[in-house]
Structure 1
Amino acid sequence: MIPNQYKKISILGSGWLGKPLSDELEQLGYVVNCSTASDENYQRLKKLGKNIFQIKVRSGKVEGMVEKFLEADILIVNITPNRDELDQEQFASLRPLIEQSDIQKVLLISSTSVYPNINRRVSEDEKSENKTHYLYRSEQFLKESQYFETTVVRMAGLIGGERHPGRFFAKKGHIKNASTPINLIHRIDCIKIITELIEQDVWGDVFNACSDEHPLKKDFYPLAAKSIGLSPPTVEAEKGDFKIIDNQKLKERLNITLEYPDVMLLLKDGAWI
């Protein structure tokens, strides 16, 4: 059920995740603005009947019909800031535009790469993030605004659809430190989590989004390659530095069960979607 105060959503970045997310939100009854920086994707989404805007977020400026795009209650930021910037220049150009708009809530799609490899399980509230990481700095930059409330979702490695993990090591053909655990999440679960955060009106918090199980690289990736007819990569069985992303906070707060808690099962019996 749509909260009465939030009926219109803008998605900044409507590619692999943003487009199917817009489909789901529209099915739930929301009015959705989509955006892309790509000419090709703009034309494709326009033909599909999307309410599409061509928006380019660059260092120091934002190009496109931004004011019209930001005529919404919620903004989902699904673009990655430039890691080469010394500060949050891309979001620095975006934040004042959000603050001047009708946007009340921001949902930022971030990454679990903000956590260093500390050889144990990591959760959101223990403050173990790499404070100098460009994504962490960008999270804080949006969260610090007094004009809108931000929830951050730190996604683990994204898989699903054309992002099949069997291709991840196809070029290298070799995996180092293959006795380390992996952190992945399927696109269907990403969309489920985002929609539940919106429908349950959960704001001002930070959540990890990751599958429940964490198989080892040496068990998962060779099987993934075989499942699509590719030669499996060779592995070095050493155990390198790692982290295991804890997802309990999100599951307990939203009271949800993931559709694909064990990514190994996606590689068996033609289950890949």
Structure 2
Amino acid sequence: MHVKFMPLERFYKRHREEVEGVLRRVFEKGRFVDGDEVSLFREEVKGFLGVRHFIPVASGSDALRLSLEALGVKGRKVITTPYTFISPAEAVLQAGGEVEWVDVGEDFLIDPEKIEDAVDERTCGIIPVHLFGKVCRMDDIMRIAEKHGLFVIEDAAQAFGSGGAGTRGTCGCFSFHPTKILGGFGDGGGIATDNDELAWKLERLRVHGFERKYFSLFPGYNSRLDEIQAALRRVWLRKLDEEIKRRKEMERMYRK
């Protein structure tokens, strides 16, 4: 008997009527980019996380890349962990920075003591990665960042809704890939921040640097979350407690 590691179709089967209803709503409106669904999703996630700004983007990888570009890392070092997906290191290199690896502790999360040892005059920031729903030692990491004048970009792709993940640093980056706790039916991501200046730049970077339609202040990207994905993730957000409960039940089953 073949058992799927992650049967992604289950969410649709459990909530078929609601999922199909929001799809009809989007199709009937005929607005597929930066419409009401994206605006509502933005506000709902912002409220859920308790942050001043939430910027929806096309993927978790884009969230990291745009954050690094907005903060400016060219020619400088960014500390992160090798024990994760390639996206954090890839984003640092794409933004013109240099990756400084720091190992994990016994909890498989980046070790703050080793971060302190790795900081030098070229270091500009830290990307702690929250894994498996476990949150890094953010008090220690923020203390180090403040001491040395570093930014902190939290990679919270695997920890949406877990212990304030993504809300402590300069900004927090989230992935809404179908395998994530706040998933969907395609790619998606977002950036949370309380920094008004950073949010202003990120909002423009995600849409070709536009200040207004067809007027670019600087080169940007096409990194918009579309209406269909925003609408579907609004459903997923409403079911988040239920999804977390199911995953905890599965964890208990595996631990028996």
TM-score range, shorter chain: 0.3 to 0.5
Higher strand share: 1
More contact order relative to length (CA 8 Å, sep ≥ 6) = 2
Higher helix share: 2
User: Taking structure 2 as the reference length, what is the TM-score of the superposition?
Assistant: 0.37
